[in-house]
A and B are shown apart, each in its own frame.
Chain A
Amino acid sequence: DIQMTQSPSSVSASVGDRVTITCRASQDISSWLAWYQQKPGKAPKLLIYAASSLQSGVPSRFSGSGSGTEFTLSISSLQPEDFATYYCQQANSFPPWTFGQGTKVEIK
């Protein structure tokens, strides 16, 4: 199974800050990577697919990059509604589809 490792596990940031989250795969997954946002008590929401494609309706301050084994999710100017936990997920080799352990973005 492909292991996904996110860093950091949590980050404290202020409104307006740029935030970057990293996801590393245990083997080459090309660009088969997705990012999700999850708020407390809510279902995950797809933000990015194919490493860098923005899901319909997702604000353009979110962007994804990377290929192979290293990927990043960036939020260009953090908004109050962006405080949440973010997960990466590999879509290259399945089953199983595997997720990172999550990165919590908290208010500084």
Chain B
Amino acid sequence: EVQLVESGGDLVQPGGSLRLSCAASGFSFRNYNMNWVRQAPGKGLEWVSYISTSGSTIYYADSVKGRFTISRDNAKNSLFLQMNSLRDEDTAVYYCARHYSGYDTFDYWGQGTLVTVSS
């Protein structure tokens, strides 16, 4: 069974940093591209970042470019999101999502981790 479990969400002050993790199991993690998608309270879904299997290709949404860094450790079946210079508008539930290659959709999602940016 495919499982994605996020962790690391917390309350942080504006300008602060946070590192999210996503532990993958039930599939060959190294063979899948991965993503982070977020959802602000009461709002819709926003794609945040993408990383290829080897980490050689990375994309970011304009809203987080220069502040967030996606990475992965295939030996530990883990995906990460380093979030710096956090803003109020970064408050959201952050989901890691497996990339459905060939169709460019997201076929499995974790349960999400809540990041709250507030003073």
Contact = CB atoms under 8 A, between A and B. Distances in A.
Contacts of B106: 34, 36, 44, 46, 89
A51 to B, nearest CB: 10
> In the complex, which range does the number of interface residues on chain B fall in?
20 to 34
A61 B107 CA distance: 19
Given A43-B112, A49-B100, A99 B107 contact: no
B45 interface: yes
Interface string B41-73: 000111100100000000111100000000000
B105 A49 contact: yes
A94 B44 contact: no
Interface of B, secondary structure class, is strand
A99 B47 contact: yes
Given A50-B103, A87-B44, A95 B59 contact: yes
A91 B107 CA distance: 13
Nearest to A94: B104
Contact of A44 (B45, B61, B104): B45
Nearest to B61: A96
Nearest to B48: A96
29 contacts: A32-B103, A34-B103, A34-B105, A34-B106, A42-B111, A43-B95, A43-B111, A44-B45, A45-B109, A46-B100, A46-B105, A53-B103, A89-B45, A89-B105, A89-B106, A91-B103, A91-B104, A94-B50, A94-B59, A95-B47, A95-B50, A95-B59, A96-B62, A97-B35, A97-B47, A99-B44, A101-B44, A102-B44, A102-B45
Closest 3 CB pairs of A and B: A91-B104, A43-B109, A34-B105
Given A46-B105, A97-B50, A100-B44, 17 more contacts: A32-B103, A36-B45, A36-B106, A43-B110, A44-B45, A44-B106, A44-B109, A45-B109, A46-B100, A46-B108, A50-B103, A53-B103, A55-B107, A91-B104, A91-B105, A95-B50, A102-B45
Interface of A: 32, 34, 36, 38, 42-46, 49-50, 53, 55, 87, 89, 91, 94-102
